[in-house]
Amino acid sequence: MTRAFALFLVLGVVLAASSARATEWTVDPAKSWLGFTGTMAQAPFDGRFQRWRATISFDPANPESGHARVTIDMASAVTGDKQKDAALPQSDWFDVKTFPEAIFEVQSFRANGTPSSYDAIATLTMRGVKMDLTTPLVISDFGVGQGQWTSAQWVAFEVATAFDVTATRSP
């Protein structure tokens, strides 16, 4: 693995929206995933975090008042490669004994001029380091990208990592 390993979250949020007035959303873990791409010997590899939780508050009519928080169990990272999976929790990488969680916190959303597209104004805290990020996301009511197309196996993601959340308006 190289030192260039980076983790940026919330690049695609898919909300199964039934009303634009709703602000609180309930995440469906069975239809959601959090993935990453690293590089080893100049070859990319994919992985996922198996355990994480998220809270989302969002109103398309007032995106700047929204927020989200994603808490990731760093020990739950898997790549399907035994060597990589054994190395990721160690102190050279995620150091899960010292830093068991990473947190991605969105302070607000900003419409970016394209329908259903927003920028998330956020902070990623990982291994005790905070990084301010502005990252794009698209909100879709159509469920496009299902079945075999929910994975990057055939269609590449535009960036190194992805976060796909399916959520419904809370009652």
Q: Which domain holds residue 64?
A: 12-169
Cβ-count burial of 108 within 10 angstroms (0-12 exposed, 13-18 middle, 19+ buried)?
A: middle
**What number is the average pLDDT over the span 72-89?**
94
> Does the residue 2 lie in any domain?
no
Has residue 29 been placed in a domain? yes
Does residue 5 lie in a domain region? no
**Residue carrying the six token digits 């969105």:** 106
Better-scored residue on pLDDT, 159 or 77: 77
pTM over 0.85: no
pLDDT at 160 over 90: no
> Please, which residues have CB within 8 angstroms of residue 84's CB and are 6 or more apart in sequence?
1, 38, 40, 45, 47
The CA distance from 9 to 2, in Å, is 19
73 found inside a domain: yes
Residue 128 placed within a domain: yes
Residue 130 forms part of a structural domain: yes
Q: Is 78 among the domain residues?
A: yes
Binning pLDDT at 50, 70 and 90, where does residue 163 land? low
The total of structural domains in the chain comes to 1
pLDDT in tens, 82-98: 999 998 999 888 999 99
pLDDT of residue 116: 80
pLDDT > 90 in the chain, percent = 36
What is the pLDDT, as a whole number, of residue 149? 46
Residue 1 domain flag: no
Supply the CATH number for residue 70's domain: 2.40.128.110
